[in-house]
């Protein structure tokens, strides 16, 4: 089975908490704070692997979690960083953030890597909060939370040459003749239901990769038939070999077929429509009148297609000449990465801890949000030094100023989660 799209949940590791610890040794009655910092949480990283060819692994496992950072300890021992989780994906994988549908990365080269979820920073131990006036802080910082997001993986085959055309025109037969690929071949439409790759390796030419793309039909750009699920696979190709059935045994007009397929390419991506094409009149052995091919070639030339070949994939007639021409053209076309429009690039949001203040009733104010959750997790409300630090953070953050603007008076009650105190300023 060929799986070329997948959606998975990735979650990076939480940072380890800073330690609250004091040096305690014989003859050192009042040692200073020595709590170490917590370790960083592990990242989730995607890495391109040339040995992988499908996204099938992600059909069965949907959630991937990196290791948490280890908490700090006494004696200024820092916690160990969480181990990064490296997920192998096939080369040619586009990664999107599901929520925004923006592109996070294009893994098109061996060992390309991107971080899709960054681990949380470790919290500071109480040793870091010691000052000349606060020599024994009984509080430390908790580790930062990790990131969690759904990402979409989309595989676009890495092939130099793409075979395209209507169903049953002989693309699979051609691929089997020029490479060691063994595609399914039969005389009915949509024999090929998944892309097939093969390596062309003829004497005297530079080898290249060729892909047999499942038959494209009218409306493919809108998703009709196999549609855009397979049109994406020719985005990376440098040359298109457009195969038509010159015999007309199925009642098809090869000229109209070329026009229709190119209309679908133009609708899907105008750059595909502009890509160099070699027009191949296949099943030439089944026609008795050479003038059929001559007229076809003239029409193709008039439409701007200079490279027109007659072949019989079944008998191997003209196939070597066709592959040599493809190799010659490839030698003059540089390999380029897919261009990603700037407005489609994912930009990670800066981690922000926020809060909001509500007046619950006369004389009672509620402060809530991720900022105060994190602040409360780092202080010891039973320690005066810790409470002083707590108050200083509220002042520096501007929370007291906002309470003043809302009309708070001395003696009014301020609630921060389950913690309450009287406002006196």
Kindly state the average pLDDT of the residues 201-224: 69
pLDDT score, position 215: 57
The pLDDT value recorded for residue 390 is 83
Average pLDDT, stretch 325-333? 93
pLDDT at 117: 95
| The pLDDT value given to residue 191 | 40
The reported pLDDT for the residue numbered 138 is 84
More confident residue, 53 or 255: 255
Stronger pLDDT, 392 or 82, i.e. the higher one: 82
Binned at pLDDT 50, 70 and 90, residue 184 comes out as: very low
Question: In which element (H, E) is residue 277 found?
Answer: strand 277-282
Residue 93 phi, psi dihedral angles, 5° rounding:
-90, 125
Task: List the CATH code of the domain at 5-155.
Answer: 2.70.210.12
Give the pLDDT score at 251: 80
- Weakest mean pLDDT among 29-43, 97-111, 384-398: 384-398
Q: What does the pLDDT read at residue 31?
A: 74
Pick among 3.30.70.20, 3.40.50.1950, 3.40.1160.10, 3.30.300.350: CATH of 356-422: 3.30.300.350
| Residues of each domain in the chain carrying CATH 3.40.50.300 | 161-330
d(CA 38, CA 18): 5
Task: Give pLDDT tens digits for 268-325.
Answer: 776 778 889 999 999 999 988 899 999 999 999 999 999 999 999 989 999 999 999 9
Mean of the per-residue pLDDT values of the chain: 84
Predicted confidence at residue 1, as pLDDT, reads 39
Class of domain 161-330: alpha beta
Q: Judge contact between 192 and 214, C-beta under 8 A.
A: yes
Residues of the chain with CATH 2.70.210.12: 5-155
Name the residue with higher pLDDT: 336 or 11.
Answer: 11
pLDDT at 148: 94
Cα dist. 380→10, 55, 331, 369 in Å? 33, 49, 69, 19
| Positions of CATH 3.30.300.350 in the chain | 356-422
| pTM of the model as a whole | 0.73
Mean of pLDDT values over 118-146: 87
**Position with higher pLDDT, 422 vs 11:** 11
Q: Greater confidence, 180 or 81? A: 81
How far CA 148 is from CA of 43, 83, 99, 213, in Å, comes to 11, 16, 11, 35
133 compared with 200, residue with greater pLDDT = 200
Q: Is 59 left (phi over 0), alpha (psi -120 to 50) or beta?
A: alpha
Say how many CA atoms lie within 13 Å of 184 toward its Cβ. 12
Is 248's pLDDT higher than 60? yes
Residue 212 scores a pLDDT above 70 = yes
pLDDT tens-digit map of 235-247: 788 999 999 999 8
Whole-number pLDDT of residue 29: 65
Longest dimension (CA), the chain: 108
Most confident stretch, 47-61, 91-105, 356-370, 379-393 = 91-105
pLDDT value of position 220: 39
Please give the Cα distance from 218 to 226 (Å, whole number).
10
Question: Is 266 a residue whose pLDDT tops 80?
Answer: yes
Judge contact between 187 and 305, C-beta under 8 A. Answer: no
Q: Tell me: pLDDT of 186 over 70.
A: no
Q: What pLDDT was estimated at residue 193?
A: 46
Instruction: Over range 133-140, report the average pLDDT.
Output: 82
Instruction: Kindly report the backbone phi and psi dihedral angles of residue 259, in degrees, each rounded to the nearest multiple of 5, phi listed first.
Output: -65, -45
Q: Give the pLDDT mean for 150-171.
A: 87
pLDDT of residue 201: 87
pLDDT band at 335, cuts 50/70/90? confident
How do residues 355-403 score in pLDDT, each as one tens digit?
888 888 888 889 988 888 878 877 777 777 777 888 888 888 888 888 8
Q: What percent of the chain has pLDDT over 70?
A: 90
């Amino acid at each position: 089975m060929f799986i070329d799209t997948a959606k998975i949940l990735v979650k990076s590791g939480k940072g380890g908490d800073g330690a609250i610890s004091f040096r305690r040794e014989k003859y050192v009655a009042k040692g200073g704070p020595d709590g170490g910092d917590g370790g960083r949480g592990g990242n989730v990283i995607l890495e391109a692997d040339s040995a992988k060819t499908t996204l099938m692994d992600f059909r069965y496992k949907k959630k991937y979690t990196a290791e948490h950072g280890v908490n700090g300890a006494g004696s200024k021992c820092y916690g160990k960083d969480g181990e990064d989780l490296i997920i192998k994906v096939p080369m040619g994988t586009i990664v999107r953030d599901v929520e925004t549908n923006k592109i996070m990365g294009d893994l098109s080269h061996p060992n390309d890597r991107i971080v899709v979820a960054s681990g949380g920073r470790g919290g500071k131990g109480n040793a870091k909060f010691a000052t000349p006036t606060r020599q024994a802080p009984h509080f430390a910082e908790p580790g930062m939370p990790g990131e969690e997001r759904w990402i979409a993986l989309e595989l676009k085959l890495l092939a130099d040459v793409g075979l395209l055309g209507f169903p049953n025109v002989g693309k699979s037969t051609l691929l089997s003749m020029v490479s060691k690929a063994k595609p399914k071949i039969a005389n009915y439409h949509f024999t090929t239901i998944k892309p097939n790759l093969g390596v062309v390796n003829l004497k005297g030419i530079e080898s290249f990769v060729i892909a047999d793309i499942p038959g494209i039909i009218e409306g493919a750009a809108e998703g009709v038939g196999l549609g855009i699920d397979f049109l994406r696979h020719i985005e990376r190709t440098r040359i298109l070999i457009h195969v038509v059935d010159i015999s007309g045994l199925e009642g098809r007009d090869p000229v109209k077929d070329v026009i229709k397929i190119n209309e679908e390419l133009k609708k899907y991506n105008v750059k595909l429509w502009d890509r160099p094409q070699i027009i191949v009149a296949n099943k030439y052995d089944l026609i008795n009148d050479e003038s059929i091919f001559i007229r076809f070639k003239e029409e193709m030339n008039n439409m701007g297609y200079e490279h027109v070949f007659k072949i019989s994939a079944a008998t191997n007639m003209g196939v070597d000449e066709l592959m040599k021409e493809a190799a010659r053209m490839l030698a003059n076309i540089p390999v380029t990465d897919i261009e990603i429009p700037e407005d489609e690039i994912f930009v990670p949001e800066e981690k922000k801890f926020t809060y909001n203040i509500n007046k619950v009733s006369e004389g009672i104010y509620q402060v809530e949000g991720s900022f105060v959750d994190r602040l409360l997790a780092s202080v010891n409300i039973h320690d005066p030094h810790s409470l002083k630090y707590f108050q200083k953070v509220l002042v520096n953050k501007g929370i007291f100023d906002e309470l003043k603007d809302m009309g708070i008076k001395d003696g009014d009650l301020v609630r921060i989660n389950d913690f309450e105190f009287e406002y006196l300023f």
